[in-house]
Amino acid sequence: MPRQVKTSPLRQAQANATRARIAEAAAVVFEARGFDAARVEDIASQAGVAYPTVYKSFGNKRKLLEAALDAVLSSGVAGALERQDWFREQLDAPTGEQQLRLIARNARRMYDRSGRLLEVVRAAAAADQQIDGLWQDFHDERVGRSRTSAERLANKARLHTTVADAARTLWTLSVPEIYVLQVARGGLSAADYERWLGDLLIAALLEH
């Protein structure tokens, strides 16, 4: 039997760092050029690596897009989004109003990083089944987080509506398309978007 070559921890760490750098570079290039016009050569140049290294690390442009999206959504923090501190913080907020303000803050922070790339994914999904799956996975995760948030909200505040409808409202009003329309094209600052979304969620969901 051929000997299995073990990768040293240092080399594995270096490989992981290279993958992360390539994913971050891919996000920059995709945001600037869109999916179809982005070239792997440009991503390699942006990352400061050889062209074959990109293919060896990811295989194709779809995998690069997936890695880029994961990089901007997680902001370098390991683990699923629903296990990250910002999500736990809003679930554990002591009042319904505070929870909804944190949801607005978290949406603003996430879309500050990922809004432009999510628009690239959404546009590419219309013509590519695999990318459409990536887009659907993103929204499925949002649906799950919205449901969890609505259930926790109902435990600490009186709602205008059912938990199911509250989850639907959270999911709908915090879609990335609204952020892009309001901030990138509608003239709002990111801070104004956060305030506007928080006010809207409180008015839509909480009884006073």
Domain boundaries, the chain: 1-78, 79-208
Give me the architecture of the 79-208 domain, per CATH: Orthogonal Bundle (1.10)
Q: Assign 82 a pLDDT band (cuts: 50, 70, 90).
A: low
Q: Do 1-78 and 79-208 share a fold?
A: yes
Q: Assign 2 a pLDDT band (cuts: 50, 70, 90).
A: low
Query: Domain 1-78 adopts which CATH fold?
Result: Tetracycline Repressor; domain 2 (1.10.357)
Tokens in use for 208? 């006073």
How confident is the model at residue 205, as a pLDDT? 97
How confident is the model at residue 184, as a pLDDT? 78
What are the helix (H) ranges across the chain? 9-37, 40-47, 51-58, 61-74, 85-91, 96-125, 129-154, 163-173, 176-179, 190-205
Tokens in use for 32? 């600037």
Q: Is the pLDDT of residue 81 over 70?
A: no
How confident is the model at residue 203, as a pLDDT? 97
Cα separation, 179 vs 110, in Å, equals 10
pLDDT digit string (tens) for 6-53?
667 877 888 789 999 999 999 999 999 999 999 999 999 999 999 999
DSSP for residue 206: B
Q: Is the pLDDT of residue 63 over 60?
A: yes
CB-CB contact of 43 with 26 (8 Å): yes
Q: Assign 180 a pLDDT band (cuts: 50, 70, 90).
A: very high
Tokens in use for 111? 């879309």
* Average pLDDT of span 123-135: 95
For residue 159, give the 3-state DSSP assignment: strand
Mean pLDDT estimate for the chain = 91
Cα separation, 28 vs 194, in Å, equals 24
Tokens in use for 9? 């921890």
Question: Phi then psi for 158, rounded to 5 degrees?
Answer: -85, 130
The reply to whether the predicted model has a pTM over 0.95 is no
Those residues with Cβ within 8 angstroms of residue 83's Cβ, 6 or more apart along the chain or in another chain = none
